[in-house]
Amino acid sequence: MANSLCYDVTMFDFFRSIWYEFLSYFVPEKVSYEITGQCKKCGKCCNYMYSVDTYTEKEFKIMQFLFPAYRRFYIKGKDEFGNFIFACKLVTKEGLCSDYKHRPAMCRNYPVKRIFYPAKLHEGCGYKISTKTFNDYLNDKNK
Ligand code: SF4
Ligand code: SF4
């Protein structure tokens, strides 16, 4: 009986090590962020947006074709580095969403907890983001 328990624990450890090994390949993508605070309804995130994968107007049109919900967005201009700045046609002058019930998932989930690039909020945004580092994960695990 004791041997069987020993065997189970060893097998469990073995599978757990394989699982951790598998997860280790995704560590860079498992950076997560602690989000605190709340929306102040300033409308900045609806008026000034960046996209990580849209560099030309053609790409933007393709995105809108593939994802009709993105048709509410338009190119507002470019920043000093030449990156597009997008805005939403549906934000009111007061900074509120005029289509709140049907806003896309990206708006519902903003700001997301798990993203693949460094998070940055608008100045004055009511939310605060703190990065959870690899050491934070280790410390959590050792508690
Ligand atoms: S920038 Fe921040 S505070 Fe302003 S509307 Fe967006 S989430 Fe809310
Ligand atoms: S759909 Fe609403 S919440 Fe989303 S960007 Fe437009 S105005 Fe903002």
Q: Has residue 83 been placed in a domain?
A: yes
**What's the pLDDT tens digit per position in 48-80?**
998 877 888 998 998 899 889 899 999 999 988
Ligand nearest to the CA of 46: 2
Q: Has residue 99 been placed in a domain?
A: yes
Domain range for 42 is 30-142
Q: What are phi and psi of 49, to 5 degrees?
A: -125, 150
| Rounded Cα–Cα distance for residues 25 and 20 (Å) | 9
How far, in Å, is the centroid of ligand 1 from the Cα of 111? 9
Q: Has residue 15 been placed in a domain?
A: no
Which residue has its alpha carbon closest to ligand 1 atom 4? 42
Handedness of CA 98, 99, 104, 105 (dihedral sign): positive
Q: Has residue 9 been placed in a domain?
A: no
* Residues forming beta bridges with residue 127, ordered by sequence position: 37
Beta carbons within 8 Å of 38's beta carbon, 6+ residues apart: 126, 127
Q: Has residue 24 been placed in a domain?
A: no
Cα 81 to chain center, whole Å? 22
Indicate the number of domains in the chain. 1
| DSSP label of 93 | T
Which of residues 114 and 33 earns the better pLDDT score? 33
- Pocket-testing residue among 36, 38, 42, 91, ligand 1, by greatest number of atoms within 8 A of Cβ: 42
| DSSP label of 12 | H
User: pTM for this structure?
Assistant: 0.71
Range scoring the smallest mean pLDDT among 20-24, 33-37, 47-51, 97-101:
20-24
**What's the pLDDT tens digit per position in 87-103?**
999 999 999 999 999 99
Q: Has residue 119 been placed in a domain?
A: yes
Is pLDDT above 50 for 3?
Answer: no
How far, in Å, is the centroid of ligand 2 from the Cα of 106? 9
Residue 92's identity, in one-letter code, is T
Q: Has residue 22 been placed in a domain?
A: no
Q: Has residue 34 been placed in a domain?
A: yes
